[in-house]
Structures are given as C-alpha cells and as structure tokens.
Chain A
Amino acid sequence: MTIMKHELRQGRTSFLVWTAAIGILMAVCICLFPEMKGQMEGISKLFASMGAFTAAFGMDRLNFGSLPGYYAIECGNVLGLGGAFYAALCAVDILSKEERGRTAEFLLTHPVSRAKILAGKLAAVLLQITVLNVIIYIVSVMSVMIIGEAVPWRELNLLHLGYFLMQLEIACICFGISAFMRKGSMGTGLGLVAILYFMNLIANISKSVRFLNYLTPFGYCTGADIVSAGKLNLGMVAVGIVISAVGIIAAFVKYMHKDIQA
C-alpha cells in the first residue's frame, strides 16, 4: 500500500495533465458534432471512395453523419492514441526510473520484498489508467448529453471498454519492458505504441496481414469493427489477455533476481 500511494503521488502531475488533455479534446470533439453533422453525409461518401486510406482507419464502414460513427473515428483516435501513450509512459518507466534516478538503492534497502514492490507499482499503474478512463467516460457521456444527442449507450460502452482493455494491455507489456530497462525507457514505450498503432493500420488495409490485428491491442478497439459488429472481437481480447499476462510475468521473473546497478 505504501508503494502504491507513493507511486500515485509521484505520478499525480502526469495523470492530471493527461486526463485534462484527453478529457478536453474529447469534449471538444463531441461538441463539434452538431456543426459537423450536416456536412458529414458528403464527407462519408468522399471517404468511402478513398480506398486504402479510409480502410486503414475503418472510415469506409462508418456513417460520419451518425454520432456512433463520428464518435468511433474522431473520439476514438483521441482516446485511443492519447490513452495508449499515457498507459505506455505510465508503465514503461515505473521500474526503470528507480535505477535511472538511482533511487533503487533507497527503495530496495528497505524491508519490502521485490514482489510487493512490483505489485504496488503495477497496482498504481492500473489504478491510474482505470481512473483516467472513468473520468473520460463521464466527460464523454456528459458532453453527448450537453449537445442534446441521444447517448448511444451500447456503442459508447463497447468503444470505451475496448480502449480501456487496450490501454491495460499496453501498460502490462510496458511494465514487462520496464523490468529489463535501465535507461531510455520512455522512447521505447512511445515507439512501441507507434508500432502497434501502425500494425493495426496495415492490418486494416491488407487482408494478407490481417492476422496482425491479433498481435496489436488496437486490433480489438477499431471503432468501425465495434460499431458495425456491436461487440468486441473476443478472440483478439483473449490474445490480448495472454500477452498482458506474459508482460506481468516477465516483469516479475526478471525483477525478482535483477542485479541493481549503482
């Protein structure tokens, strides 16, 4: 509990900045919908004829004139990318920062097992991501209500659940990476998100590499798939859960016996 509270205190500023940034952008995107709605029908037809580019973002399968379609693309990109970057930054540095900042010596010479330190830090990461998502969810629902639209509960819940699971998976992978890193972990985390994001875009363009969607957590939170299917792809989610577990186990296996450098 002490470790978790300490981590929450350490990550407070970053949490507030990212929550505010994503929340404000989401609210702005939603508030722009009434103005955009009238222009969207033409734009939807235009996008539908743009081939691979629109396929990459799933825009060929969505109606921009409807709130679920607009939300899946515009808000999805804000929460999808913003949330993924936050999850990566939050988790990839959580263990390595102790060695980089040379505070590991302070922490690990107190009578706390490494397993408890790992558990406390992981709990702090997951809690911050959860609270961020709850706040963003509330902001989004309230914004939809403010603009006078009916809340598309099913689509909205599924989209937010998908993004939440994706952020958790990225956090778990980055947590595993953090146990192996000593320096420069931030770049690795951001780079990983970029790679996973582009894997999803490529998989959406070409059928021959569609399997990549099973490897990237962006695969099961493609807005177009969720809105059109009305459900999450549970096969992809299951693979994501396994990858997340591998990330956490790797962190424990490595960090329990890691030599801490001076």
Chain B
Amino acid sequence: MEAIQTKDLTKMYGKARGIIELNLAVEEGELFGFIGPNGAGKSTTIRTLLGLISPTSGSASVLGKDITLNREEILAQTGYLPSEALFYSGMRVRDILKLSADLRKKDCRQEAEKLCDRLQLDPSRKVDELSFGNRKKVAIVCALQARPRLLILDEPTGGLDPLMQRAFFDIIQERNREGVTVFLSSHVLSEIQRNCSRAAVIRDGRIIACGSVEELAKTSARRVSVHGRVNLEKLDGIKDLHYTEDSVSFLYGGDMNLLLGRLSEGDVSDLSVSEPDLEEIFLHYYQEGGGTQ
C-alpha cells in the first residue's frame, strides 16, 4: 500500500503557483526523500497532505485515506516535524510534550523520556529560553513520542549540531526498520543520499524527477579538473566553471569528443574526470536545467 499518493495535486494561492499536478507515490515502509530549492513547493506539498491548506484540484491520500475527508484519522497516525518549531510562550518543555500527547489522547511519558535522554533535552526548561536547535529537539520529541506510522519531516536537521543530527538519524533509521514510513524533505542532499532509498525532485511546483537515489545521481555529466592550459570558449555543456592559477574545474555534460579535441589542442599536465555527487547534480542541473543530462 502507498503511504502517500497524490494524483494531479494542485494548489494555487490566488494566481500564484504553489504546486501543479503533482503525482507522487511513497510506499509504506520507505524512507523517501523530497528535494527542491526554496519556493519549489516542498512545504506546500507537506501542508496540503497534513490538511493545513486545501488543494485547489486533484486528490491525495495518506495511509490509504483521503486528505480532505479523513484529516483526523491521518493525523492520528502521522508525526510531523516542521522546519521551524514554534511553541506557546511561557510553557515548559514537559508541558508542551504533555499537551501534544493529550491532543493525541495518548500517554507518551515513557517514550518522551527516552527521546529526551537520547537528544539531551531538558524537559524542565522553558521553551522561550531554548535555542533554535533545542526547540527543534522539542518538535522532534513531539513528532516521535506517539510512535506514529508515518513521519513527515520538513528540513529536520536545521539548527542541530552534527552529533545531534547523527543521533536524530539513528532514531529515524531505527523507526524505519520497525516499519515506519518516513517522508524527508531536505535541502541537504547528502542527508537524502545517506538515508533515503528513493527520492523525488520538485522544481517550480512540479515533480521533475523521481526514482531511486542512485538513479537520480546517475548522469552523463562529469566533474572535470584540468591542470595546464585549455581553451574552453564556446564549448557547450559547461557548468560551475572555476579557474585557479594553473587549473580549471567544471561540470561537463556536453559532447565528450569535442572536449577531448579541446584538451588535445591545449597543454595539459594532469587531468581528472569523476562522477559528480548528488549535491552538484542538484545545484547545477535540477535547479535550472530541467532534468539531468
């Protein structure tokens, strides 16, 4: 069964674009990545799935239930971690955790205690006194303490130090092994590459690529570094060009024969050609180009 399925899901803010005819399928038990630049429509997608905003057209189901008809049932089995965690002023961490548990009509004290221990979160602190990272920890405990079937995480590691990021992903991986579906929206592509089996790329409100992370990282483009002199003028397919004193580095997605011709005409002392990582592919192809080359 699909944990998340959208069919031509569209959200317009008046005339402004939110998401357009989004088709997405996340299998139950998957750890699914959702990648896209700012304003691409990641948060709009998540907010629509959670019922915070209504779709303009199309449909979507979460855990087999329609998002417009079964909002409460969906939310009862879903833990959500927002990108920016804000809470009621004047409350202590333990009060926030209790409020969240009470709203779910569950006793989550044991689980909350375990999570607070692992994330080194002091439940007696007032939320107003917490740093951005510590507020994020409160939101993480709120999302996880009821042991939901589905986790929707929006930029989950913002504000967390590297050690905490590791502790967080350890917990997420454990939950995923227990069968929890994880929908992870992130700008940090290494996070997606390390943790997700499949991912979708969204740009300008549309899904432009979806598949296994390995597939998405596959591209004919190569990172080329040349030591020496080479004339690259008017050579198509070059992106992210960097010159140093005696070397040049660029992403090349054009005709390899043309590049070899230019290299043979130049004065090359050393050459390396490597596969770009997902971060580079995302930055230079998914953001502007319209798909991998």
Binding site for A on B (CB under 8 A): 43, 47, 50-54, 71-73, 75-76, 78, 80, 82, 84-90, 99-100, 102-104, 139, 142
Stretch among A17-25, A61-69, A107-115, A122-130 lining the B interface: A107-115
Given A109-B80, A111-B76, A6:B52 Cβ within 8 A: no
Q: Among residues 91 to 105 in chain A, which have CB atoms less than 8 Å away from a CB atom of chain B? A: 101-105
> Of A2, A10, A111, which is within 8 A of B75 by CB?
A111
Query: Is the pair B47, A103 in contact by a Cβ cutoff of 8 Å?
Result: no
Can you identify 17 A-B contacts, CB atoms within 8 angstroms? A6-B88, A10-B90, A101-B89, A104-B52, A105-B86, A106-B85, A108-B52, A109-B50, A109-B78, A109-B82, A110-B100, A110-B104, A111-B73, A111-B76, A112-B103, A260-B52, A260-B53
| Least CB distance, B139 to chain A, in whole angstroms | 8
Query: Is the pair A111, B54 in contact by a Cβ cutoff of 8 Å?
Result: no
Kindly state the separation between the CA atoms of A262 and B155 in the bound complex, as whole angstroms.
14
Query: Is the pair A103, B103 in contact by a Cβ cutoff of 8 Å?
Result: no
Q: Is the interface of A mostly helix, strand, loop or mixed?
A: loop
> Of B52, B71, B90, which is within 8 A of A259 by CB?
B52
Q: Which residues of B contact A207 (CB under 8 A)?
A: none
Kindly state the separation between the CA atoms of A113 and B69 in the bound complex, as whole angstroms.
11
Kindly state the separation between the CA atoms of A2 and B87 in the bound complex, as whole angstroms.
16
Kindly state the separation between the CA atoms of A116 and B136 in the bound complex, as whole angstroms.
27
> Of A103, A113, A257, A260, which is within 8 A of B88 by CB?
A103
Query: Is the pair B103, A111 in contact by a Cβ cutoff of 8 Å?
Result: yes
> Of B47, B82, B86, B104, which is within 8 A of A101 by CB?
B86
Q: Which residues of A contact B104 (CB under 8 A)?
A: 110-111
Given A112-B72, A260-B52, A101:B103 Cβ within 8 A: no
Query: Is the pair B72, A262 in contact by a Cβ cutoff of 8 Å?
Result: no
Per CB-CB distance, the 9 closest pairs between chain A and chain B, nearest first, are A110-B103, A111-B76, A111-B75, A259-B53, A260-B52, A109-B80, A102-B86, A2-B102, A111-B72
| Least CB distance, B260 to chain A, in whole angstroms | 49
| Least CB distance, A224 to chain B, in whole angstroms | 43
